[in-house]
Amino acid sequence: MRKIAIVGSPNVGKSVLFNNLTGSYATVSNYPGTTVEVSRGKARIGEEEFEVIDTPGMYSLLCITEEEMVARKILWDEKPAVILHVIDGKNLERMLPLTLQFLEAGLSVVLVLNIMDEAERQGIKIDSQRLEKELAIPVVEAVSTTGKGMDVLRGRIEEYARIKP
């Protein structure tokens, strides 16, 4: 079964997004040799069933904390077909450098601009189409607490997984 890894900084809504994609059934276990918990579930997207992995929050691929080391090991060892980089739409500038690290590492990234409800309330506007062109990856706006953007995200994952065998 191909894998989808959800990655990003702490507190950006990765786990809420994970629950949206996988529904209620998930297994939680300590990553081998660590005290870091990793949740795994399944999601049917289009015709394909994926294993979805909710990784611990990371600020950088240059790992410092045990959580970051686990997140990086998951990316390296489990070779997910797609990674969802979830960022807080209120802090685009601070969070995009990690997207670039993932792209430089050759990973297949879909960028999820999450928490767009708060971003909009603060008057923050993001030209996600332009971002999509400049990064040359799918960019999806979402509010994972209400499920907004989830259908679009599923569609984009499906397209992307088709061209990334």
What is the spatial distance between Cα 37 and Cα 30, in angstroms, rounded to a whole number?
A: 4
Taking CB under 5 A as the criterion, the residue among 2, 15, 51, 118 binding Mg ion is 15
Which position has the token pair 């090991």? 73
What is the spatial distance between Cα 68 and Cα 61, in angstroms, rounded to a whole number?
A: 7
Residue 147 found at the interface with ligand GTP (CB under 6 A) = no
Q: Build a one-symbol-per-residue string for 87-126: x at contacts with ligand GTP by CB under 6 A, - elsewhere.
A: ---------------------------xx-xx--------
Residue 10 found at the interface with ligand GTP (CB under 6 A) = yes
* Footprint on residues 19-78 left by ligand GTP (CB under 6 A): 57
For residue 17, give the nearest of 150, 115, 148, 144 by alpha carbon: 144
Tokens of 47: 């015709």
The residues binding Mg ion (CB under 5 A) are: 14-15
